[in-house]
């Protein structure tokens, strides 16, 4: 186990290095560098741009810039944002909580609802409920989040006035109930698709398990259906879900761009897009490395958990 972990970590470091190099290269080779947008600002001359590029060291060869960035990263210095000159980790940190709040709420709703719908669908396969759930899942998966979010705002905020039209809290209020009130619409919209995904996976997984020999054995033993489901079927059906959950970790921290945009939620998804469109390369690179770490950690955790839960899997 220890050797396995060490090996994985070694692999991950190499992967991270590759990811950072490719990310850096692609970013800097894209047309229009970090200063391109400023060429259009009133009063900015080409001379100003050239001077600033030189002050910022952007006129140096790419490998030199990369090496400087990478060595600093290894020392724990992630650089500073071009936009607000704050340290990159500080910038990421300032958006992380908003994202976590939204994503965790949505994920909890999605897992509970998704698992329940999936299980019910599987044990009453082809029933009215199952068909309804299947159709519902298809619809949820095909509705564009952007549109759905706007419709939600239109109905519940503009027409009925029940929910706030986005934002994380009322500026100046910020009580617990205020946060909760603002959280309802975006978390449900975000959960909608997730519920669909989780219910489909769960249904398939249960169906897979429920036809296996040990379930038949349990039935033959005369165990109550409820106990078979909870003790035997669910336990085994949840194993693939762990992998799914592991893959969700980076998504959790990466934020949901569309939902965050529609509900003006100051999360990581927005931060990434804003940084990209402002050509704020230190932050873009920071998020890239951060997400890469999360993907690797998520995968590693999922693998470890699977090994713990499922004795058939051995990590060597």
Partner 1 sequence: MTDRMVDTSSLTRPSRRKLMAMGLAGGAAVWMGPSIGWVGQAQAATPPEKPTGQAVIGFSQEPTVFNPLMLHIEVDEGVYFNLFSPLWRPGPDGNLIPDLVTEIPTAENGGISADGLTWRLKLKDNVKWHDGTPFTAEDVKYTIELINNPDFRAGRRAGHELVRDIQVVSPTELTWRMEKPYAPYPAILSWTFIVPKHILEKEADPNTAAFNNAPVGTGAFKWAERVPGDHITLEAFEDYHGDGPYLERIIFKYIPDMTVLFTQFQTGDVDYTGIQGISPDKYETAKSLEGRVVMPVPQPFVENIACNTGLPVFKDPKVREALYYAMDKQSIIEAIYYGLPIPTESFLPKESWAFNPNLPKHEYNPDKARQILDEAGWVPGSDGIREKDGVRLEFTNSTTAGNQTREQAQQFLQQNWLEVGAKMNISNLPPAVMWGEYWMMSKFETAMVGIGFGIGPDPDANDFFHSKSIGAQGGTGQNTTQYNSPEVDALLAEGASTTDQAKRKEVYAKMQEVTRRDLPYLPIFQYTMVEGIKEGLQNFKPNVAVQENCWNANEWYWAT
Question: Which positions touch partner 1 (CB under 8 A)?
Answer: 30-32, 36-48, 51-52, 55-56, 80-81, 83-86, 91, 94-95, 98, 150, 153-154, 157-158, 161, 164-168, 171, 261-264, 266-267, 270-271, 273-274, 276-279
Cα distance between residue 1 and residue 304, in whole Å: 9
- Choose among 154, 177, 176, 175: nearest CA to 166: 154
Q: Counting beta carbons within 10 angstroms of the beta carbon of residue 86, is it exposed (0 to 12), middle (13 to 18) or buried (19 or more)?
A: middle
Query: Could you tell me the smallest distance in angstroms from the CB atom of residue 174 to partner 1?
Result: 10
In angstroms, the Cα distances linking 279 to 7, 55, 63 are 36, 17, 19
- Cβ distance to partner 1 smaller for residue 131 or 264: 264
87: β partners: 80
Query: Could you tell me the smallest distance in angstroms from the CB atom of residue 274 to partner 1?
Result: 6
Question: Between helices 128-142 and 88-123, what is the axis angle to 10°?
Answer: 150
Q: Which long-range contacts (CB under 8 A, 24 or more apart) does 51-56 make?
A: 56/82
- Cβ distance to partner 1 smaller for residue 197 or 283: 283
Q: Counting beta carbons within 10 angstroms of the beta carbon of residue 293, is it exposed (0 to 12), middle (13 to 18) or buried (19 or more)?
A: middle
- Cβ distance to partner 1 smaller for residue 228 or 271: 271
In a 3-state reduction of DSSP, which class is residue 42?
A: coil
- Cβ distance to partner 1 smaller for residue 35 or 307: 35
Query: Could you tell me the smallest distance in angstroms from the CB atom of residue 269 to partner 1?
Result: 10
Query: Could you tell me the smallest distance in angstroms from the CB atom of residue 294 to partner 1?
Result: 19
Query: Could you tell me the smallest distance in angstroms from the CB atom of residue 198 to partner 1?
Result: 28
- Cβ distance to partner 1 smaller for residue 37 or 127: 37
In angstroms, the Cα distances linking 237 to 25, 190, 231, 234, 306 are 42, 25, 11, 5, 12
| H or E element in which residue 230 lies | none
- Cβ distance to partner 1 smaller for residue 168 or 200: 168
Cα 277–Cα 296–Cα 10 angle in degrees, nearest 5 = 120
- Cβ distance to partner 1 smaller for residue 155 or 309: 155
Query: Could you tell me the smallest distance in angstroms from the CB atom of residue 287 to partner 1?
Result: 13
Query: Could you tell me the smallest distance in angstroms from the CB atom of residue 168 to partner 1?
Result: 7
Query: Could you tell me the smallest distance in angstroms from the CB atom of residue 95 to partner 1?
Result: 5
- Cβ distance to partner 1 smaller for residue 91 or 140: 91
Q: Say how many C-beta atoms besides its own lie within 10 A of residue 125's C-beta.
A: 14
């Amino acid at each position: 186990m220890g050797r396995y972990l060490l090996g994985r970590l070694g692999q991950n470091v190499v992967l991270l290095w590759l990811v950072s190099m490719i990310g850096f290269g692609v970013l800097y080779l894209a047309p229009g560098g970090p200063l391109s947008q400023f060429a259009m600002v009133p009063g900015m001359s080409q001379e100003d741009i050239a001077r600033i590029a030189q002050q910022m060291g952007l006129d140096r060869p790419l490998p030199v810039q990369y090496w400087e960035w990478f060595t600093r990263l290894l020392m724990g210095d992630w650089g500073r944002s071009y936009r607000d000159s704050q340290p990159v980790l500080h910038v990421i940190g300032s958006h992380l909580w908003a994202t976590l709040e939204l994503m965790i709420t949505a994920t909890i709703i999605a897992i509970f609802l998704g698992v329940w719908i999936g299980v019910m669908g599987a044990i009453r396969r082809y029933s009215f409920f199952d068909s309804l759930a299947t159709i519902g899942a298809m619809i949820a998966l095909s509705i564009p989040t952007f549109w759905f979010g706007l419709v939600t705002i239109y109905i519940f905020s503009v027409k009925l006035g029940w929910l706030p039209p986005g934002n994380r809290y009322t500026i100046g209020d910020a009580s617990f109930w205020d946060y909760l009130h603002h959280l309802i619409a975006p978390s449900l919209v975000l959960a909608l698709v997730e519920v669909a995904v989780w219910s489909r996976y769960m249904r398939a997984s249960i169906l897979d398990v429920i036809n296996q020999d040990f379930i038949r054995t349990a039935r033959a033993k005369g165990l109550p259906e409820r106990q078979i489901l909870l003790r035997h079927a669910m336990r085994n059906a949840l194993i693939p879900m762990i992998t799914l959950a592991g893959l969700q970790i980076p998504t959790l921290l990466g934020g949901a761009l569309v939902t965050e945009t529609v509900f003006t939620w100051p999360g990581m998804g927005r931060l990434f897009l804003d940084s990209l469109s402002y050509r704020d390369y230190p932050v873009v690179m920071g998020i890239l490395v951060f997400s890469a770490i999360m993907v690797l950690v998520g995968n590693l955790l999922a693998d470890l958990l699977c090994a713990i839960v499922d004795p058939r899997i051995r990590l060597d």
